[in-house]
Amino acid sequence: MSDTSPTATPERAAQLPAQSPPVDPAETAAASEKTTHGGATAGRLSWWSGDSGEGAKRNLGLIGVLLVLIAIGALTRSDLYSNPDWVWDNVLSILKLASVVGVVTVGMTFVIIGGGIDLSVGAIVALAGVWCTTLATQSYGAGGMIFSALTVGLAVGLVNGLLISYGRLVPFIATLAMLVAARGLAAEISDKQTQVSDNQFINGIASNSLLGIPLLVYILAAVVAAGWVLLNRTTFGRRTVAVGGNPEAARLAGINVKRHSVLLYALSGLCCGIAAIMLTAQATSAQAAMANLYELDAIAAAIIGGTLLSGGRGTIIGSLLGVIIFSTITNLFAINGLSTEAQNMVKGGIIVAAVLVQQVQFRSLTQFLGRNRLTT
């Protein structure tokens, strides 16, 4: 691969009188010899622009935001930050805070990349949590509880997917309906009571640690790792990007778009089932109102993480960073003893900022297509 030839300039000028007579083609051929085949192309790309270059660059930005947030914490509470033990504990508590929403967000990321949206995640967590803590289920022990939570999550997700793919409901509507219905069912099952979990194994998931790190953090890490592999290394992930990026192209390439959408919502439901166990363990109980507004947290985290709301683009690492940024903010406000109201305002601001940044990138794309005006 060569760069363009620097020697062409003088000849070019000479070659261009206002009405240049047709030059002998042999001469032109000779002149063009100097630029090798495909000469306008530089051979190498920058190190970051490999397969997922744009995503990696965006994630570096998110890490920057995270560092700024930590720096703010260290400045405002330098007394706490001077104690290394406290800092380590604080990191763990941030991760623990991120774990449940993080698991939900992994599923949500898949759904959004696939061109959909799942508003029912919080409700599914609640339904799965309530279902696995009924006295009847608890009588089957930890295995029965885990099995029922996962099955309920998967089943509800499957229903979402079927309604959307084959019932042709808009994802927003279908999952909104599911949000209402699933919480209703959860309230019905629990009779609006808080159901206490007596299962020591389940409760231990939240209270126990391994090598000084809470089990919840391991679960989050495992789900994130599995999600990353699924998205980046498997045919399932490849189909997800195709289906969300250009459904028509995917369909004409022989991908079963409808079936794949069903699987995406089922996957999201499954993640909610896992999250339900984690949340139940944390509270040692479940109730119909649990996991309130998780859908908003998960969607916001995914968007901040660079997932395109219209589908076709997104990264698991970005979403994870999005969740961690949110819990770091919560933590920042907590250690400074500030109100949750102020905290929500800051979160809202961060969401807007993230979307604005994305739009700037998006604008350069639309400008490339020659249209950047819908508002005049």
Partner 1 sequence: MSEQSEETVVTDAPLVEAPADAVAGEVVLRLTDVVKTFPGVRALDGVQLEVRAGEVHCLLGQNGAGKSTLIKVLAGVHRPDSGQVEWRGEPATFANPQAAMRAGIATIYQELDLVEDLSVAENAFLGHEPRRFGFVRRGYMARRTRQILGRLGHAEIPPNRMVRTLPAAGKQVVSMARALSHEARLIIMDEPSAVLAHDEVGNLFRIIRELTAQGIAVIYISHRLEEIREIGDRVTVLKDGRTTAANLPARDTPTRDLVSRMTGRTIEYVFPDRPADTGPGAELLTVEGLTRSGEFADVSLSVRAGEIVGIAGLVGSGRSELLETIYGARRAEAGSVRMAGRALRPGSVGAAVRAGMGMAPEERKSQALLLGEPIYRNVTLATFGRYARAGFTDAGRERAEADRIAESLELRPRDVRRPVRTLSGGNQQKVVVGRWLLGDTKLLLLDEPTRGVDVGARAELYQVIRALAARGVGVLLVSSEVPEVLGLADRVLVMREGRVVREAPAGELDENTVLDLVMAGSLMEGAPA
Residues binding ligand ATP (CB under 6 A): 40, 368
Residue 350 makes CB contacts below 8 A (sequence gap 6+) with 304, 325, 329
> With contact defined as beta carbons under 8 Å apart, do 298 and 119 qualify?
no
Q: Which of 12, 192 has the CB closer to partner 1?
A: 12
Q: Which of 36, 208 has the CB closer to partner 1?
A: 36
Q: Which of 50, 212 has the CB closer to ligand ATP?
A: 50
> With contact defined as beta carbons under 8 Å apart, do 299 and 112 qualify?
yes
Residue 103 makes CB contacts below 8 A (sequence gap 6+) with 219, 220, 223, 271, 274, 275, 278
> With contact defined as beta carbons under 8 Å apart, do 319 and 336 qualify?
no
Q: Is 245 in the site for partner 1 (CB under 8 A)?
A: yes
Number of other residues whose CB lies within 10 A of the CB of residue 14: 9
| Residue 59 token pair | 């994630």
What mask, x for binding partner 1 by CB under 8 A, covers residues 33 to 72?
A: x-x--xxxxxxxxx--xxx--x------------------
Among the candidate windows 20-28, 106-114, 278-286, 349-357, which touches partner 1 by CB under 8 A? 20-28
For the CB of residue 228, give the shortest distance to partner 1 in the complex, in Å.
13
| Residue 11 token pair | 């000849």
For the CB of residue 361, give the shortest distance to ligand ATP in the complex, in Å.
13
> With contact defined as beta carbons under 8 Å apart, do 293 and 287 qualify?
no
Among the candidate windows 19-27, 185-193, 316-324, 345-353, which touches partner 1 by CB under 8 A? 19-27
For the CB of residue 26, give the shortest distance to partner 1 in the complex, in Å.
8
Position 31, amino acid: A
Check residue 312 and report its DSSP letter. S
Task: Return the one option of partner 1, ligand ATP, none that residue 241 interacts with (CB less than 5 to 8 A, by type).
Answer: partner 1
Q: Which of 334, 316, 326 lies closest to 354 in space, CA to CA? A: 326
Q: Which of 77, 238 has the CB closer to partner 1?
A: 238
Give the CA-trace dihedral at 347, 353, 356, 361, to 10 degrees: -120
CA distance 347 to 326: 7
Task: Return the one option of ligand ATP, partner 1, none that residue 194 interacts with (CB less than 5 to 8 A, by type).
Answer: none
Residue nearest to ligand ATP according to CB distances in the complex: 368
Among 134, 221, 236, 355, contact with partner 1 (rule: CB under 8 A): 236
Q: Which of 38, 337 has the CB closer to ligand ATP?
A: 38
Q: Is 368 in the site for partner 1 (CB under 8 A)?
A: yes
